Amino acid sequence: MADCPPNAIKRGADGEVVIDETCIGCGNCQRNCPYGVIRMDAKPPPKASLFSWLLFGAGPGPGEASYAWRKKHTDPEQAKVAIKCDMCSGIEGGPACVRACPTGAAIRVSPEKFLSVARLAEKTD
């Protein structure tokens, strides 16, 4: 992307857009993103394990921790960087949202198939 000073944002082989670790957190990509999918955030602090939460009430519990908790426990010196869904690129097993979906509602389809699924949905409505 032209406005990315360290050239950290790139498009991968399957069409996914990936931001690598050279991101300096300038926020240009977030401001210019036409879909609003990029946000600026710090790496979340580590949480207590499920069992220590269940048995001893440690940490914020399952799920994404609240903003207040993250703000309180993150190192204030740590810079925010740009983050977005990169289809879990580099993680074995593919997109975590699909693996984590218990009912089979979330699936991955290739771009050309996606268009035909969307058209069909319009027709059947």
Partner 1 sequence: MASVSDAPSHAERRRATEHESFLAHKGMRWLKIAIGLSVAAILGYAFADVEPRPNGGTWYGYTLGTIGALLIVWLALLGVRKRAMTEGRWSLKAWTSAHVYLGLALLVIATLHTGFQLGWNVHTLAYGLMVLVILSGIYGITVYALLPQRLSSNRREMTKGQMLESLAAIDRQLEQAAQPLARDDADLVIDALDQDPFAPGLIARLTGNYRHCRTERALDALAGPMDGRAATLDPAHERVVVLLRKRDGQLEQIRRHLQLRAMLEVWLYIHVPMTIALLAALTAHIVSVFYYW
The contact set with partner 1 (CB under 8 A) reads: 50, 62, 91-93, 96, 98-105, 107, 109, 113, 116-117, 119-120, 123
Q: Which is nearer to partner 1, 11 or 119 (CB)?
A: 119
Write down the least CB distance from residue 77 to partner 1, Å. 28
Write down the least CB distance from residue 47 to partner 1, Å. 10
Q: Which is nearer to partner 1, 1 or 98 (CB)?
A: 98
Rounded distance, CA 27 to CA 4, Å? 9
Interacting residues of 39 by C-beta distance below 8 A, sequence separation 6+: 30, 82, 83, 84
Q: Which is nearer to partner 1, 26 or 83 (CB)?
A: 83
Q: Tell me the residue type at 125.
A: D
Q: Which is nearer to partner 1, 42 or 98 (CB)?
A: 98
- Residue 9, judged by CB atoms within 10 A of its CB (0-12, 13-18, 19+), counts as buried
Could you tell me the two tokens for 8? 């950290």
Rounded distance, CA 18 to CA 12, Å? 7
Write down the least CB distance from residue 15 to partner 1, Å. 18
Write down the least CB distance from residue 51 to partner 1, Å. 8
